[in-house]
Structure 1
Amino acid sequence: MRYTGINHLAMATADMDATIRFWRDLLGLRLVAGLGRPGYRHYFLEISPTDMLAFFEWPSVEPIAPKDHGVPVKGPFAFDHLSIGVRDRNDLWDVKDRLEAAGFWVSEVIDHGFIFSVYSFDPNNIAIEFSCPVPGVDISSHPIMADRHPSATAQEGAEPQPGHWPAPTPTPPVERRIYPGEGRELVLVEDE
């Protein structure tokens, strides 16, 4: 398998217009697709050529309670924050300046050793981080485990370890079917 990135992260908003204004108009993500019908919208914003951020508009959804990035919680929980990569420190400062000019809280630039980051929240209180690489540091090429007490599985190393899951049985080509779903209207041309 070859992964290409995050195709899209899907989140929810009750106010698609405020969400578009923030992500498209303030932060510069292109609005590349929109699906909709009464009571339903699903819009996609382009982060990079292979990565998108998507929002469902659900009229009854409420913004989540603000929660500081990375602070542990108790009870059911699935998502802490979204980090979007930017090219370099100049882009990071541009994001910080734009957020501050628009009246959004934004942290100072934080040096994590391998990335520089700023933190903020979107209009839905989704915790967001913007990060750029520290010049000369490449943990992708040179993985580092700095945890003094790593889990047993982490001690096995960076590369996928075989033998822990059953081997898949490939689906024969004659049985490979793709079923229609939401979004086909983006590419289908209807007869007029």
Structure 2
Amino acid sequence: MNNSDPKFEFRGINHLALVCSDMRRTIDFYSGVLGMPLVKTLDLPDGLGQHFFFDCGGGNTLAFFWLADSPDAAPGIAAPKGLPDQGELASAVGSMNHVAFAVPPEKFDEYRSRLKAEGIAVSRVLNHDDSPAGVSREVHAGTFVRSFYFQDPDGALLEFACWTREFTEDDVRHEPKTAADRRATSVR
């Protein structure tokens, strides 16, 4: 689909900002394990913390705050508790559920193997499709993206994903749910 007269001209994601507990460990993971160059570092005023940026390709960056007064992680609230293939997908409204990095389809399996060799726990490969289960064991004509998931040292859910086909008008056909459709969960 092509919008020839967009309301705004978007050029991707400038940066997505997450919060980490240990900036050194974050650099070791994102630059060391994933190979994202650290491109900008800032100390925030008044001892508030730090803000560092990693190049994640295509002119996009992934940024992290280290904040002196950050609350502890809240798995299952601020981010999923685990990996989607283990039934962990829920996170709170307004949270960041996961970050999906676009990777070349021809390198997809190699990248999964590399992460496993680094000792990173990775999910099984998910071939996302329009079936009732939402995934299939094999890639087929209805598969639109292949992906696998893993977590960073602070538990942020990450995904390596590659599109397998172009979208058509038929790919936008579901009626959007509203706040009234949510299942209310009570805190016990």
**Per the shorter chain, which TM-score range?**
0.5 to 0.7
Match of residue 104 from structure 2 = 87
Select 1:150's aligned residue among 175, 179, 182.
Answer: 175
Select 2:127's aligned residue among 104, 111, 118.
Answer: 111
Q: 1:120, 1:127 within 8 Å by CA — same for their partners in 2?
A: yes
- Cα distance change, pair 114–18 in 1 and its aligned pair in 2 (3 A): same
Q: TM-score, normalised by structure 2?
A: 0.68
The question of 1:138 aligning with 2:154 is answered no
Select 1:26's aligned residue among 30, 33, 36.
Answer: 33
Q: 1:32, 1:46 within 8 Å by CA — same for their partners in 2?
A: yes
> SS state of the match for residue 34, structure 1?
strand
Aligned length: 147
Q: 2:14, 2:60 within 8 Å by CA — same for their partners in 1?
A: yes
The question of 1:42 aligning with 2:58 is answered no
Structure 1 residue 108 displacement after superposition: 1.9
Q: 2:82, 2:89 within 8 Å by CA — same for their partners in 1?
A: no
Structure 1: runs of 5+ lacking an equivalent: 154-192
- Cα distance change, pair 68–60 in 1 and its aligned pair in 2 (3 A): farther
Look up the equivalent residue of 1:3 and give its one-letter code.
F
Partners in 1 of 2:106 and 2:23 — Cα distance? 30
- Cα distance change, pair 143–31 in 1 and its aligned pair in 2 (3 A): farther
Match of residue 128 from structure 1 = 158
Q: 1:14, 1:60 within 8 Å by CA — same for their partners in 2?
A: no
Partners in 1 of 2:37 and 2:146 — Cα distance? 24
Select 2:112's aligned residue among 76, 85, 96.
Answer: 96
Q: TM-score, normalised by structure 1?
A: 0.67
Fraction of identical pairs, as percent: 29
Larger Rg: 1
Q: 2:50, 2:66 within 8 Å by CA — same for their partners in 1?
A: yes
Structure 2: runs of 5+ lacking an equivalent: 1-7, 76-80, 129-142, 179-188
Q: What is the CA deviation profile of residues 72-101 of structure 1, one whole-angstrom value per residue up to 9, with x for unaligned ones?
A: 6486552211111112231x2233123212
